[in-house]
Amino acid sequence: MEAFDWLPFLQKFSALLLEDDMCNLQEHGVCQMPEDAHHRGYMGFPGATEQQISATEARLGIRLPPSYYTFLQASNGWEEMGPSFPGRLWPVEQVEWLRVRSQEVIDIWGTSHLSLAEHLAYQGSDDGALYFNGAYMQNCLEVSSWGDACMVFLCPEVTTAEGEWECWKLASWYPGVARYPSFQAWMVESCLQLQREVR
């Protein structure tokens, strides 16, 4: 599988987010992006080193999925993106199991049970946010803070042949979780969604 070129993508996504925030400022008099991101003109950070990523993998006892790993190499975390997005994407040192930091999320949304085949059948469908195996949340990796009642985590129970983990976006306005085949797929779709709104 060809490697995804994160840096130009993140620069484009940053520009869209900051442009949208400036429109919000003009219309409503409020900025929702961090002031520092406006000053830098970028929502990202310097990339994580191999040592930083390896230390987190050793702490968690896992190998991070490829697209998330390469994202961290390009930007070690990401600023909070505003309404309809999760909070800040954690730098690699702060990534943690969902059950360790957010057990209440599992208690509320993690009660449904489906087979893997049923779970996969609904991935990407209109009903995907309603039909999912909530029991998988016990082993999910929290990669963001709460934003506008929204957060993102990765599910190692559902993987692709390339080693990608399913990416879950949980939001208070969903009946469950929106699911994407990888972290990269979620980021790309988020950028496209914003592009449609801004343009």
pLDDT tens-digit series, residues 97-113 = 999 999 999 998 888 88
Domain extent listing, the chain: 6-198
Alpha-carbon distance of 182 to 159, in angstroms, equals 8
User: What is the SS3 string spanning 68-94?
Assistant: HHHHHHHCCCECCCCCCCCCCECCHHH
CB 178, CB 126: distance < 8 Å? no
pLDDT (tens digit per residue) in 123-145 = 776 666 677 888 999 999 999 99
Please state the rounded mean pLDDT for residues 42-60.
96
Q: Give me the pLDDT at residue 113, please.
A: 85
Q: Give me the pLDDT at residue 42, please.
A: 84
Beta strands 177-180 and 141-142 are unpaired
The third-level CATH classification (topology) of the domain covering 6-198 is: SMI1/KNR4-like (3.40.1580)
- Confidence class for position 59, pLDDT limits 50, 70, 90: very high
Average pLDDT over the chain, rounded to an integer: 87
Q: Give me the pLDDT at residue 32, please.
A: 65
